């Protein structure tokens, strides 16, 4: 058995990585950093204009990136995105299931959530991950392996109120991660998750009042706001060969608010 290769274990060079919701918010930062590290990045996002602009910016600075309009709740759209990725680069090494419905959801009492809104959140945040995993699976299986990183939420550990449908969907992501890891082990496909704490992304800042944001960092060990770049290391590690014998796990990245 070969030993740990310290020169390549964390390398992203030429790895083909799909980032859902990769053109906006936290996903934008994942995409930028992966491209800076040499990955070939696919932006799968419903925000077409922003995603296309990001792909142009990354390409203009020497990165390798394509933008493919994708609604992850639509299996046909996801399949077209995966097919386009294979046509462009011939393989899929990593999938970051980042896209979700959150910022458009009102904060409020659980009993006021409309059933149709509940179903839509599950359709995107949970079923969308299943659809994306299913679409990339044949390619990862055929090439002998791959890495899937599912983005859950620190709400899972804290039991945070006022978006019960979102919290429930993100708890489901951890269950999906564990069971899918069990199913894909024989195919050498690692499936892991991260639970971000409250993160000051562009999207979060645009949809939150100053009263909601102020003081959120005081209840964690590191007394500063969490930024998208604070999450990049965990995602990078789980996509890299350095985590090659790790699957079915959840990494909590919240500056020390919830201990896990």
CA distance 44 to 232: 18
pLDDT digits (tens, 9 = 90+) for 203-241: 665 555 555 556 667 889 999 999 999 999 999 999 999
Burial of 1 (0-12, 13-18, 19+ CB in 10 A): exposed
Please report whether residue 8 resides in a domain. no
pLDDT over 90, % of the chain: 88
Backbone phi, psi, residue 245, to 5°: -110, 25
- The CATH number assigned to the domain holding 200 equals 3.40.50.720
Please report whether residue 258 resides in a domain. no
Enumerate the β-bridge partners of residue 193: 150, 250
Please report whether residue 180 resides in a domain. yes
pTM for this predicted structure:
0.94
230 contacts: CB under 8 Å, gap ≥ 6? 199, 253, 255
Q: Locate 96 and state its tokens.
A: 């970051």
CA distance 131 to 108: 29
Q: Is 126 left (phi over 0), alpha (psi -120 to 50) or beta?
A: alpha
CA distance 222 to 200: 15
Q: How far is CA 170 from CA 60, 199, 227, in A?
A: 35, 15, 20
DSSP strand pairing (64-69 vs 189-196): unpaired
Number of domains forming the structure of the chain: 1
Please report whether residue 10 resides in a domain. no
What is the pLDDT confidence band of residue 81, given thresholds at 50, 70 and 90?
very high
Give the model's pLDDT for residue 208.
53
Please report whether residue 58 resides in a domain. yes
Q: What is the mean pLDDT of residues 162-190?
A: 97
Please report whether residue 228 resides in a domain. yes
For the annotated catalytic residues, the residue numbers are 166
**Beta carbons of 193 and 260 less than 8 angstroms apart:** no
- Calculate ∠ Cα 139-140-146, nearest 5°: 155
pLDDT digits (tens, 9 = 90+) for 112-160: 999 999 999 999 999 999 999 999 999 999 999 999 999 999 999 999 9
Please report whether residue 3 resides in a domain. no
Ranges assigned E (strand) in the chain:
16-20, 40-45, 64-69, 94-97, 146-151, 189-196, 250-253
Please report whether residue 132 resides in a domain. yes
Domain that holds residue 235: 16-251
pLDDT digits (tens, 9 = 90+) for 40-70: 999 999 999 999 999 999 999 999 999 999 9
């Amino acid at each position: 058995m070969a030993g740990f290769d310290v020169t390549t274990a964390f390398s992203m060079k030429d790895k083909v990585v799909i980032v859902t919701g990769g053109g906006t918010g936290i996903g934008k930062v994942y995409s930028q950093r992966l491209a800076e590290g040499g990955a070939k990045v696919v932006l799968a996002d419903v925000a077409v204009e922003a995603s296309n602009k990001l792909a142009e910016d990354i390409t203009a600075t020497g990165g390798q990136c394509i933008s493919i309009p994708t609604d992850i709740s639509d299996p046909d759209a996801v399949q077209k995105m995966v097919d386009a990725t294979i046509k462009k680069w011939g393989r899929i090494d990593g999938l970051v299931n980042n896209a979700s419905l959150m910022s458009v959801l009102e904060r409020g009492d659980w009993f006021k959530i409309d059933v149709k809104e509940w179903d839509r959140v599950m359709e995107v945040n949970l079923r969308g991950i299943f659809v994306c995993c299913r679409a990339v699976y044949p390619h990862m299986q055929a090439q002998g392996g791959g890495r899937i990183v599912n983005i859950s939420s620190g709400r899972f550990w804290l039991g945070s109120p006022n978006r019960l449908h979102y919290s429930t969907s993100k708890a489901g992501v951890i269950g999906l991660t564990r069971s899918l890891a069990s199913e894909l082990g024989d195919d050498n496909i690692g499936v892991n998750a991260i639970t971000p704490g409250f993160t000051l992304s562009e999207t979060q800042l645009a949809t939150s009042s100053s009263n909601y944001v102020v003081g959120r960092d005081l209840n964690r060990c590191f007394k500063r706001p969490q930024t998208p770049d604070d999450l990049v290391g965990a995602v990078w590690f789980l996509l890299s060969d350095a985590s090659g014998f790790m699957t079915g796990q959840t990494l909590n990245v919240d500056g020390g608010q919830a201990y896990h």
